[in-house]
A and B are shown apart, each in its own frame.
Chain A
Amino acid sequence: MTTQRSGRPEQQLFEDPAVDRLMGVLMALATEHYVLRDRVRALEGQLAKTGTLDVSALDAEPTAAELAAAQADRDAFAEALLKPLLGEQQAKGATGPFSLKKK
């Protein structure tokens, strides 16, 4: 996967720009977590409805074939999680620090 980069530095909102980027990682992770949570809830609901939920099968270690099948999904997850570390804005606009303090 090739990460697309804008080359434009993102706005800095914390004193330490590392915090800006770390927050980006955290929020991407939080979003992904919620997507997963929503899907699991839906899945379990459907399975429970039809009486086909097998908890022990769910807990079992995935097979090599299952792991290979999920590779692209893992790559996309990794990119979404780590891309904020580049510190680049997605939409072009004002950049750099901002202050309304008296000069």
Chain B
Amino acid sequence: MDERAFSAAQGFLLAAKMYWTTTLYRALRDEFLAKSSVDQKEQSVEDVAAILEDSPLYQYFAWLERHLQRMKYAGRYGLVPYHDERRGELLAALTGDAELDRDLELPGYYTGVDIHQHPGGLWSDATAALVYERGARSTTPMLGEAHKDLHDRFTDVVAAAGPPRRILDMGGGFGKSTGPLAERFPDSSVESVDLSAPCVTLGAHLAKQRQLDNVRYRQMDARSTDYSDASFDLVTSTMVLHELPTKALEELFDEALRVLEPGGRMVHLDFYSIPDGFRRFIHYGHARRNNEPFMQPLASTDLAALLKKKGFVDIEITPFKESEEIDIEKNDAWRFPWTVVTATKPEVSS
């Protein structure tokens, strides 16, 4: 496929997604409000489902959510065939010093589902990270190019407690979260670990391009790293918690607690705080349609109680503004329920 055709097709799909994000979502919300007779804050997901699931508008909304994403990745003008056609040239251009672990056994929850409807997932093909990087540019169509800004805004949250010295970014992928941390805190040393060999390879490449010499990309399971106890004063993750089944989530928190020094902080950006039944219904539906099997379990877990049980203190769960312009209360377009989860390792273990 030629570049113009790929660009036109992807541009059309993104324009359709924008229409879905704004006009169709608002129409669905209006239909729900018109049919709903009780306070929406009181409504359960099941209540909303009973009102909306038979609605033709909801069915088209759901279909477009699933299939605009499918067409973005697969099919004649998809990201996967586009990158596959160019694989030799694209892969030859990758440099950097990623630390790969050829013997790493990938967990079943990770390989069992092609998350985001990315055929083959983020791990099974060498071009997967390039596909993911390109796809992530339009994951949140309302943000457009400002998607990058989201990660910079996350570094503001981290910086509020003072500059960290040693950072572990769990599930750092190709560096969309890790890169801004390394740039924002040039005197820190940053370790980015991820299960995906293609992702850490691209992460190291981009770090080299940006001349970031305070960051390492390593292929490793964040639940069982090789770092010594108390190696870091900050552990982060961005959009990782919702990719984990509950048992793996607990193991991730256990590992974070182990590698944090006493008084060290853990800060996660994920999708969690959902204010009403309608948006919870939309979020759970998104999870199903976008191949995110652990998004619903995360959103229905009592994270504060879990973190307390794990031994963390000063637990805070706060809605996150993904861009300067967004007004969380007044926003009436589709958006992820962005949330920052912070917790601290006690100074003295209890």
Q: What is the interface of chain A, defined by CB distance below 8 A to chain B?
A: 11, 13-15, 19-20, 23-24, 27-28, 30-32, 34-35, 37-39, 42, 76-77, 79-80, 83, 89-94, 98-102
**B19 CB within 8 Å of chain A:** no
Are B71 and A27 in contact, CB atoms less than 8 angstroms apart? yes
- Write the B105-149 contact mask toward A (1 if CB under 8 angstroms, else 0): 000000011111111110000000000000000000000000000
Interface size on B, residues (CB 8 A): 47
Q: Which residue of B lies closest to A33 (CB)?
A: B12
**Bound form: Cα–Cα A15–B7 in Å:** 34
Q: Is the CB of B50 within 8 A of A101?
A: yes
Q: Tell me if B5 is interfacial: C-beta within 8 Å of chain A.
A: yes
Closest to B74 in A: A90
Which residues of B, 282-315, contact A by the 8 Å Cβ criterion? 284-285, 288-289, 291, 293
By the criterion CB–CB under 8 Å, are B114 and A91 in contact?
A: yes
Query: Does more than half of chain A's interface fall in helix, strand or loop, or is it mixed?
Result: helix
Give the chain A neighbours of B77 by CB distance below 8 A.
31, 35
Binding site for A on B (CB under 8 A): 4-5, 7-9, 11-13, 16, 45-46, 48-50, 53-54, 59-60, 62-63, 66-68, 70-71, 73-77, 112-121, 281, 284-285, 288-289, 291, 293
Provide the bound-state CA to CA distance between A77 and B75, in Å.
11
- In the complex, 5 of the A-B residue pairs with CB atoms within 8 angstroms, ordered by the A residue number, are A31-B76, A77-B76, A90-B74, A91-B114, A91-B116
Complex contacts, B50 vs chain A, CB 8 Å: 101-102
CB distance from B72 to the nearest CB of A (A): 10
- Complex Cα distance, B72 from A48, in Å, reads 33
- Whether B59 and A14, one on each chain, are in contact in the complex, defined by CB atoms closer than 8 angstroms, is yes
